[in-house]
Amino acid sequence: MKKTIFFLFFLFLSTSGVAQIYYDQGYFINNSGVKTICLINNLEWYSNPTKITYKLSEDGEKKFETIETIKEFGVLGGSIYKRFDINMDRSSELTGNLSTKRNPTFKKELLFLKVLVEGKASLYMYRESNLKRYFYQVDNEPAAQLVYKSYSSYTINEINNRLDRSHYIKKNNSYKQQIWTNLNCANITEKEIERLDYTKNDLTKFFVKYNTCKKSTSILSHENKNNDVTIIKKKNHGRFVNISIKPRLNRASGEKSKINTNETTSLYTNEIVFGIGFEAEFILPINNNEWSIFIEPESNIKGSTRLPIGVRYTASLNSTSNLYFNGSYSLLLPEIAGGIGYKYKKFIIEVRYGAAQGKTPYILQKTNYTNLALMVGFNFF
List, for residues 339-348, the tens digit of each pLDDT value.
999 999 899 9
- pLDDT confidence of 227, banded at 50, 70, 90? very low
In tens, the pLDDT along 115-138 reads 999 999 999 999 998 899 999 999
Mean per-residue pLDDT for 19-39?
Answer: 87
CA dihedral 95, 99, 100, 101 (to 10 degrees): -140
Residue 175 C-alpha from the chain's centroid:
27
Strand pairing class (51-55; 63-66): antiparallel
Percent of the chain with pLDDT over 70: 80
Amino acid at 167: H
DSSP secondary structure code for residue 67 in this structure:
T
The residues spanned by each domain of the chain are 21-78, 81-232, 235-379
Mean per-residue pLDDT for 103-118?
Answer: 96
User: In angstroms, rounded to a whole number, what is the distance separating the alpha carbons of residues 201 and 218?
Assistant: 15
In tens, the pLDDT along 263-320 reads 555 555 677 889 999 999 999 877 767 899 999 999 988 788 889 999 999 987 766 7
- How far CA 72 is from CA of 29, 36, 224, 337, in Å, comes to 5, 11, 19, 43
Mean per-residue pLDDT for 128-153?
Answer: 94
Lowest mean per-residue pLDDT among 17-26, 129-138, 175-184: 17-26
287-330-374 Cα angle (round to 5): 80
- pLDDT confidence of 193, banded at 50, 70, 90? very high
Round the average pLDDT of the chain to a whole number and report it: 83
Does residue 255 surpass a pLDDT of 70?
no
Comparing 7 with 57, which gets the higher pLDDT? 57
In tens, the pLDDT along 37-62 reads 999 998 888 899 999 999 999 889 99
Amino acid at 321: S
The predicted pLDDT at position 153 comes to: 87
The predicted pLDDT at position 252 comes to: 81
Does residue 23 surpass a pLDDT of 70?
yes
User: In angstroms, rounded to a whole number, what is the distance separating the alpha carbons of residues 143 and 149?
Assistant: 19
- pLDDT confidence of 362, banded at 50, 70, 90? very low
The number of CA neighbours under 13 Å toward the Cβ of 89 is 23
Does the 235-379 domain belong in CATH 3.60.90?
no
The predicted pLDDT at position 266 comes to: 54
The predicted pLDDT at position 310 comes to: 95
In tens, the pLDDT along 315-334 reads 877 667 889 999 999 987 77
- pLDDT confidence of 145, banded at 50, 70, 90? very high
Comparing 356 with 249, which gets the higher pLDDT? 249
User: In angstroms, rounded to a whole number, what is the distance separating the alpha carbons of residues 218 and 123?
Assistant: 10
Residue 136 burial (CB count, 10 A): 23
The predicted pLDDT at position 234 comes to: 36
Please answer whether residues 313 and 15 qualify as being in contact, where contact means their C-beta atoms are separated by less than 8 angstroms: yes
The predicted pLDDT at position 4 comes to: 47
- pLDDT confidence of 222, banded at 50, 70, 90? low
Q: What are phi and psi of 38, to 5 degrees?
A: -155, -175
User: How buried is residue 265: exposed, middle or buried, by Cβ count under 10 Å (0-12/13-18/19+)?
Assistant: exposed
The DSSP result for 77-101, as a single string, is: TS-EEEEEEEEEE----SGGG-BS-
282-283-286 Cα angle (round to 5): 145
Amino acid at 287: N
- pLDDT confidence of 78, banded at 50, 70, 90? confident
User: In angstroms, rounded to a whole number, what is the distance separating the alpha carbons of residues 77 and 214?
Assistant: 27
The predicted pLDDT at position 370 comes to: 86
